[in-house]
């Protein structure tokens, strides 16, 4: 099977590309290397998977998309503008990357591929500010949903996406997701969307805007100050990258059965953690740097965790790497990279 991974030098894309190559897929990566850390992952891929084709190109350029997505059996679309803060500063660029870039790939899939699998990495931000309207309870180290419909269960795919407040990032990712699912309905593409929560693991060079868990671990080991926006009790469900690549493999295998579907993908309630709880875990491993607190940022969700029941029912998938094991793996990977 011929596979194109867009954004394949990013954290998720690089892990997926390497995994699928080991499984015998013919893998091509398309990345514009706009992020400095993508070059580090490129070096990793070239060293460990020299047979993978790595192409510099931009999905906003239709001819580039056509050249490298043409005749592929599967397109795994990870390339994106990924930060809410960036979308607020430059909404046009956010729109062009996330909407136009996705549209270009879909047009190539429609015109120049034979009913390919199209896996789109979406976001939980498609639910907009609706998540913040759910009543919360404040506990010692975290918030949680107070509403029994969601407490201990999480947000299902049936949760409303109809809200006035999304941020440009939420809008662009949701619009692109709708295009993916609509092309699946009308043009025979076997498309699906993964509405992802907090993914983490090896090859992730996080920062304040994206990849917070890796950002905290890296900052702790390098003794760089950490800024917490809010009070640190905000909660996410974290998902280790090995479980993400296993999900993608299952989706390729079952694409005929799950075309048009959207999945809420995260660690689920069992793998929830707050910022304060993560710092406590890191404190047991290393001396923490200075911790600063600042005001809440626009569109911050105090609580978000995914109801992953649908992925379990349709794919037989659930996380295998728990948060304790996953944080340990990330910690030692960061230490191996930055303590050289």
- Percentage of residues in the chain having pLDDT higher than 90: 92
pLDDT of 340 higher than 60: no
CA dihedral 272, 278, 282, 287 (to 10 degrees): 180
Quickly count: other Cβ atoms within 10 Å of residue 23's Cβ: 13
Choosing from 49, 68, 169, 174, the catalytic residue is 169
User: Cα–Cα distance between 32 and 10 in angstroms, integer?
Assistant: 10
At 82 the pLDDT is 87
pLDDT of 339 higher than 90: no
Active site residue 240: no
N-terminal to C-terminal alpha carbon distance within the chain: 38
At 338 the pLDDT is 85
pLDDT of 33 higher than 60: yes
User: Cα–Cα distance between 86 and 176 in angstroms, integer?
Assistant: 18
Q: What confidence category does residue 228 fall into, taking pLDDT thresholds of 50, 70 and 90?
A: very high
pLDDT of 53 higher than 70: yes
Mean pLDDT across the chain? 95
Q: What confidence category does residue 116 fall into, taking pLDDT thresholds of 50, 70 and 90?
A: very high
Tens-digit pLDDT profile for residues 264-301 = 999 999 999 999 999 999 999 999 999 999 999 877 88
Q: What confidence category does residue 16 fall into, taking pLDDT thresholds of 50, 70 and 90?
A: very high
The domain locations on the chain are: 2-338
SS (HEC) of 269-308: HHHEEEHHHHHHHHHCCCCCCCEEEECCCCCCCCEECECC
| Residue range 309-330: mean pLDDT, rounded | 98
**Residue whose structure tokens are 């640190």:** 232
> Which residues is 28 bridged to in the sheet?
4, 53
Tens-digit pLDDT profile for residues 120-174 = 999 999 999 999 999 999 999 999 999 999 999 999 999 999 987 889 999 999 9
| Residue range 61-84: mean pLDDT, rounded | 96
Against a cut of 0.85, is the pTM above it? Answer: yes
Q: Which helix (H) or strand (E) holds 156?
A: none
Q: Which fold has domain 2-338?
A: Rossmann fold (3.40.50)
User: Cα–Cα distance between 119 and 192 in angstroms, integer?
Assistant: 5
User: Cα–Cα distance between 82 and 169 in angstroms, integer?
Assistant: 7
């Amino acid at each position: 099977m011929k596979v194109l991974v867009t954004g394949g030098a990013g954290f998720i894309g690089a892990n997926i590309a390497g995994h699928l190559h080991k499984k015998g897929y013919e893998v091509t990566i398309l990345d514009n290397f706009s992020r400095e850390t993508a070059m580090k992952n490129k070096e990793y891929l070239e060293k460990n998977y020299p047979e993978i084709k790595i192409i510099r190109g931009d999905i906003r350029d239709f001819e580039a998309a056509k050249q490298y997505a043409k005749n592929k059996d599967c397109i795994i679309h990870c390339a994106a503008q990924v930060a809410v803060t960036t979308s607020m500063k430059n909404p046009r660029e956010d729109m062009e990357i996330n909407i136009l870039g996705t549209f270009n790939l879909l047009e190539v899939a429609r015109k120049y591929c034979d009913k390919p699998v199209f896996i789109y990495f979406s976001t939980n931000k498609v639910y907009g500010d609706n998540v913040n309207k759910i009543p919360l309870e404040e506990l010692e180290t975290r918030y949680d949903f107070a509403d029994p419909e969601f407490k201990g269960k999480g947000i299902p795919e049936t949760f409303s996406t109809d809200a006035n407040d999304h941020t440009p990032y939420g809008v662009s990712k949701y619009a692109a997701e709708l295009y993916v699912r609509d092309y699946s309905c009308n043009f025979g593409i076997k498309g699906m969307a993964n509405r992802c929560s907090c993914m983490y693991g090896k090859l992730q060079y996080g920062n304040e805007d994206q990849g917070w868990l890796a950002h905290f671990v890296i900052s702790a080991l390098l003794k760089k100050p950490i800024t917490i926006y809010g009070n640190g009790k905000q909660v996410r469900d974290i998902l280790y990258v090995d479980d993400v690549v296993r999900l993608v493999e299952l989706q390729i295998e079952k694409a005929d059965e799950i075309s048009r579907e959207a999945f809420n993908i995260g660690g689920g309630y069992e793998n929830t953690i707050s910022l304060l709880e993560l710092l406590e875990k890191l404190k047991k491993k290393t001396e923490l740097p200075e911790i600063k607190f600042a005001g809440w940022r626009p569109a911050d969700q105090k609580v978000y965790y995914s109801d992953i029941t649908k992925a379990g029912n349709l794919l037989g998938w659930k996380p295998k790497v728990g948060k304790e094991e996953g944080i340990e793996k990330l910690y030692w990977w960061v230490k191996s990279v930055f303590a050289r």
